[in-house]
Amino acid sequence: MLQQFLADLAHYSHLDTPTRRREHYAIERLLQLLCESAADIGLQLLRADGYKLASSYREVFQVMRDRLGLPDDLADSLMDACAMRNVLTHLYDVIDLDRVVAAVEPAIDVYGRYAKWAQWKTDS
């Protein structure tokens, strides 16, 4: 599913900012789904390594860094991306549409790198 969500989000990378703003609900949802999918993949990898269930998205990526060799910069980027997911999901604050529409390319980058790393980890 991660690859599908990446492909879906890539569609929005070709849109101008005003159009992205009009499509912000779809972008927000894809950002949420990317975080959740990445964490689900991480949980499966951790389970295969004998780790208990993590209590947060942040913990998933921290433990993957510490136990499975997820690169530091990628772990940090994933934690940051999932922090945005928490804001979107739980409405902790007023949603900043400029931040949402600007998150498209960084999300494609970080989750694309993660997908490659997870595939490598699975194959090794």
pTM equals 0.90
Domain ranges of the chain: 2-123
Query: Could you say which of 3.20.20.70, 3.40.630.30, 1.20.120.330, 3.40.190.10 is the CATH number of the domain covering 2-123?
Result: 1.20.120.330
Burial of 33 (0-12, 13-18, 19+ CB in 10 A): middle
Q: How far apart are CA 120 and CA 105, in angstroms?
A: 23
Q: Among residues 96, 98, 108, 97, which one has the least CA distance to residue 30? A: 108
Report the helix count and the strand count for the chain, using DSSP H and E.
7, 0
Q: What is the pLDDT along the chain (124 residues), one digit of tens a residue?
A: 999 999 999 999 999 999 999 999 999 999 999 999 999 999 999 999 998 878 898 999 999 999 999 999 999 999 999 987 666 655 556 677 888 889 999 999 999 999 999 999 999 8
Query: Nearest 10 degrees: CA dihedral of 71, 73, 76, 82?
Result: -90
